[in-house]
Amino acid sequence: MRTIFHIVSVLFFCHLSTSWALDIALPEMGDSAGELISPREEQEIGQAFFWRLQQSTELVEDPEVTSYIQSLGYRLASNSNEPNLNYTFFVLPDGAVNAFATPGGYVGVNSGLIITAANEDELASVMSHEIAHITQRHILRSFENSKRMTIPRTAAMIAAALLGAADPKAGSAAIMAVQAGSIQSQIDYTRANEAEADNIGMQTLVKSGFNPEAMPSFFEKLQQASRFYGGDAIPEFLRTHPVTTSRIADSRGRASQYQVKPRLSDHEQFYLIKEKLRVMTAQDIQEVIKYYQHQLTRDELTNKDPVNYGYVLALIKNAQYTAARQRLMPLIEREPDRLAYQLALADIELSVGRVKAALDIYEDNQRLYPDDRALTLNQVHALLRTARPVEAAKLLQTQIELGEGGRQIYKLMAQAKGDTGQKSESHAWLAEYYYESGLLKAAADQLHLAAEAAGRDEYQLSKIASRLREVENAMSEMEN
């Protein structure tokens, strides 16, 4: 079973790094996906994939962006067929219009998809589609159809994938050579997966309070846009999720069966996050500034606040703090309780050296948004900057107790503990940061350092020893 675990992990890694989308099939080894791979092993596959992903590319770790995508993802997942799965939603700083899902509940969304979506409903439609791929176990079910492929061809695919782990370019070329002979035998199954994901995803979308028309509308928009592309410029989502006229018609037919319900969520946050990502991922900040200046001259632009907000962020990024403040203040006057605006104001204050003013903004907003993750992380950065690690550690501990851990939290906690002279605690938290990053050897090394620094503290030594055993067991499973 471990062999399957490692093969599938490598295959997922190679799938992400290439521009093709085929269900990889292995020789049939069970009567159902559930018998082939247990839920625990399914989670291990997803975890291994996510670890490799983090080591191969940067993720968007801006706390506002991650909080938003996780909130939207959890809302959809709670209305899916399997609401109790341990889902992980994340954003990649990739301009390609794409999203993907893997076993274990991991759903990745490219920034390009968020920027391209016209509204939150369209983004939610894609995410609900990806969640359906997970709940219907489409990748695992592909093993059941392995009898359609010959063993030599399967062996060639595995060899190509293993080669790709060492040399992605060589692996991709080998896979492409093998793929030509197997694409026809796979295409019907792929379409069946997509149709089922559309159907189940639509149900999740509607249960979550979104407009069902968003799914066919977004698919149609991408299909029309693809006519202006050629070759490798075709949107990635169309490569991995083939969209046909009949599929759009089927999706629109399903959508017509549902009644559109009034929106209950704060859709404005989507537009603010969209503009934040536009600025964050911009290659040329001057071009982005020109973009916003042009957008604000358009008479047909009915909602200018998100555009002005994006303009503010672009001006901050370009160190034009006075101009940024002047454009931000009218937004705050209209919506003084909008946290995104308050955080932007605090960012300006920090940038000009007014750290106390920034901390006052954070304190005031903690009363309105107690323990908000984005607010807390920004506040912690400012506290550490002003040599107040004890307060920073207290805020971080609250996040951890609320179940809001993660790489950022653990790394900041390691810094806070280090700044207070608690060396053993600092190393232990840094170990958690490395573990979350998939760097298991580095995590084990930090735990050994934590043990050395613990002295005769038996309670701390016991905790470290227990965690070290867990890390070493994970390392052993990854090696076998």
Does this model's pTM top 0.85? My answer is: no
Residue 110's SS3 state is strand
Note the pLDDT of residue 302. Answer: 86
Task: Tell me the torsion sign for CA atoms 146, 151, 156, 162.
Answer: positive
**pLDDT 10s digit of each residue in the chain, 480 long?**
444 334 333 333 334 333 333 333 333 333 445 555 677 777 877 788 788 788 878 999 999 999 999 999 999 999 999 999 999 999 999 998 888 888 889 999 999 999 999 999 999 999 999 999 999 887 666 645 544 444 334 333 333 333 343 344 444 444 444 444 444 444 444 678 888 888 999 999 999 999 999 998 888 887 776 554 455 555 556 555 666 677 777 778 888 788 776 665 558 999 999 999 999 999 999 999 999 999 999 988 889 999 999 999 999 999 999 999 999 999 999 999 999 999 999 999 999 999 999 999 999 999 999 999 999 999 999 999 999 999 999 999 999 999 989 999 999 999 999 999 999 999 999 999 999 999 999 999 999 999 999 999 999 999 999 999 999 999 887 776
- In whole angstroms, give the CA distance from residue 269 to residue 338: 9
Task: Provide the pLDDT for residue 48.
Answer: 80
- 294 annotated to a ligand binding site: no
Tokens found for residue 435: 């573990």
CA 22 – CA 186 distance, rounded (Å): 7
Residue from 125, 103, 114 nearest 201 by CA: 125
Domains of the chain, by residue range, sit at 2-255
Output the pLDDT for position 239: 58
Catalytic residue ranges: 130, 198
Distance of CA 232 to the CA centre of its chain: 24
Distance, first Cα to last Cα, the chain: 10
Q: Residue 129, annotated ligand binder?
A: yes
Distance CA 468, CA 449 (A): 11
Four-point Cα dihedral 347, 353, 359, 361, nearest 10:
-50
194 known ligand binder: yes
